[in-house]
Homo-oligomer: A and B are copies of this chain.
């Protein structure tokens, strides 16, 4: 059983998103403003649609925290959907409210609509859209914020940065690239990097394939909606061993490195250098100029359904990745130090 484990739930237009986190040591200070600020960071970014303005997510803590500190019991986080009154009937749990309003049947390429409707035997593709939406990453960021508060106890901090949007590799050109794409009714993806500092030596392991922290990080980042490529450290493609590897040296009596191409992981274990993980996000599949598709009900060619969407969400995606890396690190920290309270954890560092 993982130490830091959790489940999330909630549909895109449902009443709320919920997460239950189990395994957090007792005595951790839960700074709700910090969590809300992480949610805000996720909602920002040039290229986001109007929904972001409606949402302005804030978290409510309904269990596991008393007087600002964790109890050791499961922590429940809730983000209410501020627009729910407009969706109450459409997303109702009650059979009495059944309606075809907002239902659709044309597969959206790039989404889970096609495979999801076959897997779960659903005719109304809304039943797929609602959970496969990236909306669920809001509560994931809240979970990540709690993980970050735990990492803070060890002085570990994380940031992220967008490094490419479409074909633009220079931050000055990002807005211009997005505007251009928006004009065409198209969408665009990009690349970002997540960096965590002050990582202890020895998280993860080479002793068994599923203990490797590189694999665990890759899982967490690759499963973010729209991420298709994950990279740890610098891409070694085209480099020789003598160019790529991070040599050791003694400096002021300490074991040091001359570089960090490996991104802080060798042999599946953290080596004490900065943890560096990059990812490429594909262009958002929902576009104003719709893609060619098929209507699952008529069996005829059709054009994909357009639901209010963003042109570019790479900044947001980077914040989600930052959060997910925090999950993995929090779990590894607790596996390594095994503490039931923050005091105990501090004593073991």
Contact = CB atoms under 8 A, between A and B. Distances in A.
A34 interface: no
A42 interface: no
A266 to B, nearest CB: 6
Interface in A20-57: 20, 22, 25-27, 30, 32
Contacts of A140: 209
A274 interface: no
A110 interface: yes
Contacts of A340: 119-121, 202, 336
B121 A27 contact: yes
B282 A236 contact: yes
Interface in A229-269: 229-233, 235-250, 253, 255, 258, 262-263, 266-269
A289 B240 CA distance: 12
A61 interface: yes
B242 A186 contact: yes
A154 interface: no
A132 B206 contact: yes
Given A131-B207, A219-B218, A248-B292, A9 B63 contact: yes
Interface residues of A, number: 162
Contacts of A104: none
A228 B277 CA distance: 10
Contacts of A99: 67
A14 interface: yes
Contact of A95 (B16, B68, B112, B122): B68
Contacts of A20: 7-9, 18-20
B240 A181 contact: yes
Contacts of A222: 212, 214-215, 217-219, 230, 232
A11 B272 CA distance: 25
Given A247-B291, A258-B292, A338-B348, 13 more contacts: A1-B210, A1-B211, A6-B7, A11-B63, A22-B208, A32-B94, A72-B116, A72-B127, A214-B223, A219-B222, A229-B231, A248-B301, A334-B338
Nearest first, the 3 closest Cβ-Cβ pairs linking A and B are: A338-B338, A112-B267, A215-B223
